[in-house]
Amino acid sequence: MEFHRFFFYASIILSISVYLFPIMANSMGINYGQIADNLPSPEDVVPIVKSIGATKVKLYDADPKVLKAFANTGVEFIVGLGNEYLDKMRDPAKAQAWVKQNVQSHLPATKITCIFVGNEVLTFNDTSLSSSLLPAMQSVHTALVNLGLDKQVTVTTAHSLSILEASYPPSSGAFREDLVDCLSETLSFHQKTGSPFLINAYPFFAYKGNPKQVPLDFVLFQPNQGVIDPATNLHYDNMLYAQIDAVYNALASLGYKKLAVHISETGWPSKGDEDEVGATADNAKKYNGNLIKLMSKKTGTPMRPNSDLNIYVFALFNENMKPGPTSERNYGLFKPDGAPAYSLGISSTSNVAGSNTTTGGTNGKPLSPIPTPPSTPTSSSTGYLSISPATERYEFAGTVLLTALILTKMLLW
């Protein structure tokens, strides 16, 4: 590395460690998207990832330059197989060739622990994609078995929260009826192979869609009175935990109560268009800063208090070539030059919603009745198209985000 470049990144890392992340999260995951023409080299990204305490990285492909740069660092990787590869991966021979080239060749130096096959496939309403999903996952897993890698590398896929038909209260969490058959087969695969269930969750969209009705403090993990699930008497003081527990309940309703759930994407944009209410640096600082504080405590949700949260923050960098609204290009914790996009201001773990989840309402008083959830969403997030970050994640809609109808009467009384 040239001396001037080394000096530049060394100074960046020093400023990050004392200013941006004075408290680092244990087992923090980060999404490393690369839809940009001005990002640092993978070699320069290594110290940036380490500076934030991230021990896990999720890629949207299996970029060999990135995987080689992180060799012998101990950082765990999830690599991606894009939606455009699903049909091809149905062929066991092609799946094995891909695994050999993109996974086996990097082991054991680079710690690849998981392959996610497709992203938010079931909410694309594309039958050709959805019918190819499980066969592709099975072929990739078979390839791992044949190569003797199945004990160290799992196979999964990432879902949008739009796979839920009901999400509030969390105890009523249920999958869409039209997806139950397909999901049941996929869940059986997860159970047999020991792979996690991945969900992309964005409370930002709930606030953006109804900023006058959805309490900002509730979505930003700020102190607030929270809500009570009347069926369980569990107290929720942030939206993300409510979303996660809704997923746990949906899984339990199909007989998969013990299946591990990982949050493969969540984040908040630091900039947006005029109609993207809430997309500010201050809100991004609060959301991501408070989230990282909670991750550092290694506690779970109200329903699973003893289960560590496996969360991948979206995203490492602002990506200047992503299509869509301005927010899509401003989810990064860092600017392309490696400088922090904003200070997370993490200096303590106090006064963070979710840090002390309990039962009961405010002063022991239950909150107002649960309103009827909206109908099943007719559109969903496209999430990460192929192996790339989302182009239209902003279209995410429906009950799964606990929108205004879910919170209006619950929190504003």
Secondary element (H or E) of residue 78: strand 76-81
* Residues 18-44, mean pLDDT to the nearest whole number: 79
CA distance 238 to 202: 12
The predicted structure's pLDDT at residue 220: 98
Say if residue 33's pLDDT is above 70: yes
DSSP assignment letter at 263: E
* Choice between 47 and 387, residue whose per-residue pLDDT is larger: 47
Say if residue 17's pLDDT is above 80: no
* Residues 339-356, mean pLDDT to the nearest whole number: 66
Query: Residues 384-408, buried b or exposed e (16+ Cβ, 10 A)?
Result: bbbbbbbbbbbebbbbbbbbbbbbb
**pLDDT grade, residue 80 (50/70/90)?**
very high
Say if residue 139's pLDDT is above 50: yes
What's the token pair of residue 34?
A: 């690369």
CA distance 99 to 105: 8
* Choice between 120 and 356, residue whose per-residue pLDDT is larger: 120
Tell whether domain 20-332 is in CATH 3.90.1150.10.
Answer: no
- The SS3 of residue 109 is coil
Contact 389, 262 (CB under 8 A): no
Q: Is 369 exposed, middle or buried (0-12, 13-18, 19+ CB in 10 A)?
A: exposed
Strand partners, 30: 57, 313
The predicted structure's pLDDT at residue 308: 83
**pLDDT grade, residue 45 (50/70/90)?**
very high
* Choice between 108 and 125, residue whose per-residue pLDDT is larger: 108
**From 2, 76, 84, 120, active-site residue:** 120
The predicted structure's pLDDT at residue 345: 67
Say if residue 395's pLDDT is above 50: no
DSSP 187-254: HHHHHHHTPPEEEE--HHHHHHH-TTTS-HHHHTT-S---EEETTTTEEE-SHHHHHHHHHHHHHHHT
Length reported for the chain: 413
Query: Residues 118-146, buried b or exposed e (16+ Cβ, 10 A)?
Result: bbbbbbbeeeebbebbbbbbbbbbbbbee
Give the CA dihedral 229, 233, 239, 244, nearest 10 degrees. Answer: -90
* Residues 243-265, mean pLDDT to the nearest whole number: 97
Say if residue 100's pLDDT is above 60: yes
Say if residue 311's pLDDT is above 90: yes
Catalytic status, residue 120? yes
Secondary element (H or E) of residue 159: strand 154-160
* Residues 223-240, mean pLDDT to the nearest whole number: 96
**pTM > 0.85:** no
Say if residue 348's pLDDT is above 50: no
> Cα separations (Å) of 349 from 23, 62, 166, 222, 295?
9, 35, 32, 12, 10
Contact 160, 396 (CB under 8 A): yes
**pLDDT grade, residue 23 (50/70/90)?**
very low
Contact 21, 52 (CB under 8 A): yes
What's the token pair of residue 321?
A: 């070539």
Q: What pLDDT digit, counting tens, does each position of 60-73 carry?
A: 999 999 999 999 99
The predicted structure's pLDDT at residue 374: 33
**pLDDT grade, residue 355 (50/70/90)?**
low
Contact 343, 285 (CB under 8 A): yes
**From 2, 43, 177, 265, active-site residue:** 265
**pLDDT grade, residue 324 (50/70/90)?**
very high
Contact 206, 272 (CB under 8 A): no
Say if residue 384's pLDDT is above 50: no
Say if residue 326's pLDDT is above 70: yes
Q: For the chain, what percent of residues have pLDDT higher than 70?
A: 77
DSSP assignment letter at 309: P
The predicted structure's pLDDT at residue 371: 34
* Residues 167-182, mean pLDDT to the nearest whole number: 95
> Left (φ > 0), alpha (ψ -120 to 50) or beta: where does 81 sit?
beta
Mean predicted lDDT score pLDDT of the chain: 83
Say if residue 309's pLDDT is above 90: no
Catalytic status, residue 265? yes
| Helices 127-146, 180-193: crossing angle, 10 deg rounding | 10
> What is the chain's alpha carbon radius of gyration, rounded to the nearest angstrom?
20
The predicted structure's pLDDT at residue 298: 81
The predicted structure's pLDDT at residue 217: 97
Contact 217, 224 (CB under 8 A): yes
* Choice between 390 and 281, residue whose per-residue pLDDT is larger: 281
The predicted structure's pLDDT at residue 359: 36
What's the token pair of residue 4?
A: 């001037």
* Residues 309-316, mean pLDDT to the nearest whole number: 96
Range with lowest mean pLDDT among 142-156, 328-342, 383-397: 383-397
> Cα separations (Å) of 208 from 18, 126, 219, 268, 398?
32, 27, 11, 11, 13
CA distance 238 to 227: 9
* Residues 271-293, mean pLDDT to the nearest whole number: 96
Range with lowest mean pLDDT among 8-17, 155-164, 297-306: 8-17
The predicted structure's pLDDT at residue 46: 97
| Range ranked top by mean pLDDT from 121-125, 349-353, 362-366 | 121-125
